[in-house]
Structure 1
Amino acid sequence: MSQGIDYGNLMHRAMRGLIQEVLTDVAVRGLPGDHHFFITFDTAHPDVEIADWLSDRYPGEMTVVMQHWFDELDVTDEGFAVTLNFGDAPERLYIPFDAIKTFVDPSVEFGLRFETQDSEEDDEDEPLRVAPDGDDTEDDEPPRKDADVVSLDSFRK
C-alpha cells in the first residue's frame, strides 16, 4: 500500500533542478543583464567544502553573492563549485544543492526558500517573494568586485 504522494519531496527536487539549470546556463553563457544571485547555504552540511576560516566565521549558514566577479563555475547533478573573491582572497567553494537554504535573484524579484527537514509538516517549501526595500543608496556606490556575505532580511516581507 502506498503512503501517498510526497509533494514536499517532489517540490524540493523540482526547485533544486531549477537552480541547477540556471547555474548550468550561467556557467556556459555568463550572467545576463542585471541578474545576480544571493545563495544562502548550510555551512555545517557534511558535503559543503569551504575554507576553514569561512566555516569558523560562519558556523551555521552563509550567504554568497554571484554578481560581478566569480570564476570556474562548475555545476553537477549534486551541487556546484565556484571561486569567489573574499577581500582579494579567491576561495573555492563547493555547495551541494541539498545545503541551499535560499536562492534569490533580486534583479527580477525571484527567490526560493527551502525549509529544513525537521520543520513542521505543514511548512511547505514555497517561492520566496523578493521586494526591493526602496532604498536607492546602493545606486550611489560604485559596483563591487568582491563577493559579499549579506543578510536576506531586507528582501523578506
Structure 2
Amino acid sequence: MSNAPPESLLPYENWAARALRGVAVDALEFAAGEGLPGEHHFYISFRTDHPGTNIPGHLKARYPNEMTIVLQHRFWDLVVDRAAQRFSVGLSFSGVPSMLSVPFGALTAFQDPQANFGLRFEPDAVEAQAEPEPVAPAPEAPGAESQADVPQVVSLDAFRRKRE
C-alpha cells in the first residue's frame, strides 16, 4: 500500500503559482505608478522563447532561452496590462534603447534584493505557438541620442597581439 496522498482533482498548484506571480505583477504595477522607493530594485527573469515575448532581435540572439533584466534607475515606459496579461518596459542595452514586452506567463523569477524577497516560477505551458507581436521601434530614452546619431566604432585593440 502506498502512503502517498491522493491526487487532487482541483488545480491547487496552478492557483498557487498564479497567486505568487500576481505578487510580482503587483510590484511591477506599483513601480509603474509610483516609481521605485528608496533602494528597491527588481531582478526579473523570463523566458525569451515563450510565445508572446517580444524583445529586439539582438537580445533574442544573445539570450535565446532566458534573460534577466534589472529595473532600478534607468528604465522608462513601464506599463502593466492585466487584461493582456503582460508588461512592457524600456531599457538600454549597451547604450541602445530597447522596448521589451513580456507575458506574465513567461516569468521565471522575481527578486527585490532591498527587501530580501524573491520568487521563482515555472513558465506557463502554452500549447499553441502564438504569433509573436511585431517589434515596434524603441522610443528614445530621455536625453539619449538616436541610433543613427551614434557612431558605431569597434576597437580592434582587444584582438591584437601585444609585442613586448
Give the TM-score taking structure 2 as reference length: 0.67
1:39 aligned partner: 44
2:94 aligned partner: 87
Q: 4+ residue stretches of structure 1 with deviation over 4 A? A: none
2:24 aligned partner: 19
- Rounded Cα–Cα distance in structure 2 between residues aligned with 1:66 and 1:115: 21
Matched residues, number: 117
TM-fit CA distance, 1:117: 6.2
| Residues 106, 123 of structure 2: 8 Å contact kept | no
1:87 is aligned with what amino acid?
Answer: S
- Rounded Cα–Cα distance in structure 1 between residues aligned with 2:37 and 2:18: 25
Larger Rg: 2
User: Which of residues 19, 44, 64 is equivalent to 2:69?
Assistant: 64
Task: Give the 3 Å change call, closer, same or farther, for CA 25–116 of structure 1 in structure 2.
Answer: closer
1:28 aligned partner: 33
Listed as ranges, the gaps of 5+ residues in structure 1 are 119-157
- Rounded Cα–Cα distance in structure 2 between residues aligned with 1:19 and 1:25: 10
Listed as ranges, the gaps of 5+ residues in structure 2 are 1-7, 126-164
| Residues 44, 111 of structure 2: 8 Å contact kept | yes
User: Counterparts of 1:1-157 in structure 2 under 5 Å?
Assistant: 4-77=9-82, 78-116=85-123
Quote the RMSD (CA, aligned, Å): 1.7
| Residues 49, 65 of structure 2: 8 Å contact kept | yes
